[in-house]
Amino acid sequence: MVSRLVLVLGDQLTEGLASLKAADKVHDVVVMAEVADEAGYVPHHPKKIALVFAAMRKFAVRLHEDGWDVRYTRLDDPENAGSICGELLRRAEDTGASEVIATEPGEWRLINALQHCPLKVRLVEDDRFIASHAEFDQWAEGRKALRMEYFYRDMRRKTGLLMEGDAPVGGQWNFDHDNRKPARDEVSHAPIQFAPDDATQEVLDLVETWFSDNFGALRPFGFATDRDQALQALSHFVDHALPRFGDYQDAMLDGDRFLYHSLLSAYINIGLLNPLEVCQAVEKAYGQGDVPINAAEGFIRQVIGWREYVRGIYFREGPDYPTRNKLNHKRKLPSLYWGAETGMRCVAKAVAQTRYEAYAHHIQRLMVTGNFGLLAGIDPSALHEWYLSVYIDAFEWVEAPNTVGMSQFADGGIIASKPYVSSGNYINKMSDHCKHCAYSVTKKTGEQACPFNLLYWHFMDRHRDRFEGNPRMAQMYRTFDRMDADKRETILKEAQGFLDRMDAGEQV
């Protein structure tokens, strides 16, 4: 007699998952399913779908070998109900179970679906994170500003990572000033690639058939699809790329898609790697003298600082957070985000890389595609759906705060103290894209003027009432006001002309 169903989702592929720990291997049945609702609520990159499905299938085998009764539904199963709730109802009818144990999903959309499923569903908190909901809320309560840096320090104290008693190793919490070196044209260490085995190849063929119209190249596919491979990817990063990661983590190169980045985020986010074990491996490498402090601290901050922080924000702010639009930006997502030709080299390179790799690092997302979207006034919901669609590590709990809050300032300043906008100068400093661009980064007006230069002042002008009093932006308003009136008028006119051409579907 089956007592309960134990739901395991595609981003919960961890043997110590909370719902599995709460279940009885003898009497409970694990339910896993590839369903159209999850594969299609946004047009996910084919590589992302392939990674999740292949990893799910291998994880199901691993659970079965460990003694679990696993009922697994493939996408092309004729009896597939098409939704998670539908599959639970189908398995409940098959087994006689009326209760479901599920680890809390990372998206409000799916939490809502489970809460309205006509079965008794018990959600248990996902304890794969370092900070519980209660811990984050306790930290946030009563604070005027929820700045990540202070939360990060608490996570360092809690985990003991890079700590000497109560003090941070190296005498300071943050070495970010050492991690902003511009790119150098040199050979980097690309992430390890894995040749698809038979199980993965079968998934690739399925995805090729079902999702051929989705944006993104499915092949070649080299991602890790099980824990053993993910651990190899972690070791490869620590041994070969981590020593230089810190110096160049903000850099961009025209001919190098990865530099020294790890590409481990997807494996962490679907559960193949535990965030703490990843950070401990980085800390160990520092302790052995194999990597400098700025590299180790910079990486650990992204995981136990930023990753934990944005999850806390997502759940604290509630289901409406992804739809917020405090700047009232309404422009439709232009076709250049889907690969239409553009003369802006930085944007073209970021989008092309996204198409082929399902990956771009944080500066490409924040200061290129995100910066352009904010300057151009693109609807943040449209950008949110684009990021959620095209990146292999994108799940709403982590993607929405990064897009809506950090990138687009659409939450009104909960995450960021100022909008992350810049002219072309920042991109020129941190990359070599501008050397190959159809526009000139040094030109402020005229036909060849960098659109980021024009749109920067257009953004500042149209949001003057909101940001002129911001201490971190007041100087830029004084700079704008010191310009000759005719120059200001020319900049704003040319910026609007650029936006009008883009809206009309012309190549920009």
Q: What are the pLDDT digits (tens) for 367-420? A: 999 999 999 999 999 999 999 999 999 999 999 999 999 999 999 999 999 999
Average pLDDT over residues 202-225: 98
* pLDDT beyond 70 at 1: no
CA distance to 237, 339, 367, 406, 459, per residue, from 363 (Å)? 19, 19, 5, 12, 20
Report the alpha-carbon distance of residue 401 to residue 276 in Å, rounded.
22
Please check whether residue 64 is in contact with residue 70, taking contact to mean a CB–CB distance below 8 angstroms: yes
pTM of the model: 0.97
* pLDDT beyond 80 at 186: no
Report the alpha-carbon distance of residue 182 to residue 432 in Å, rounded.
9
Other C-beta atoms closer than 10 Å to the C-beta of 332 total 10
Please check whether residue 359 is in contact with residue 446, taking contact to mean a CB–CB distance below 8 angstroms: no
Average pLDDT over residues 130-146: 96
Residue 187 has a pLDDT of: 64
Please check whether residue 107 is in contact with residue 400, taking contact to mean a CB–CB distance below 8 angstroms: no
The residue assigned the tokens 């500066």 is: 363
Phi, psi of 168 (to 5 degrees): -75, 145
Other C-beta atoms closer than 10 Å to the C-beta of 195 total 9
Report the alpha-carbon distance of residue 175 to residue 297 in Å, rounded.
7
Average pLDDT over residues 196-207: 98
Number of helices (H) and strands (E), helices first, in the chain? 24, 7
Q: Which pLDDT tens digit goes with each residue over 277-313?
A: 999 999 999 999 999 999 999 999 999 999 999 999 9
- Sign of the alpha-carbon dihedral angle for 214, 216, 220, 224: negative
Phi, psi of 167 (to 5 degrees): -110, 145
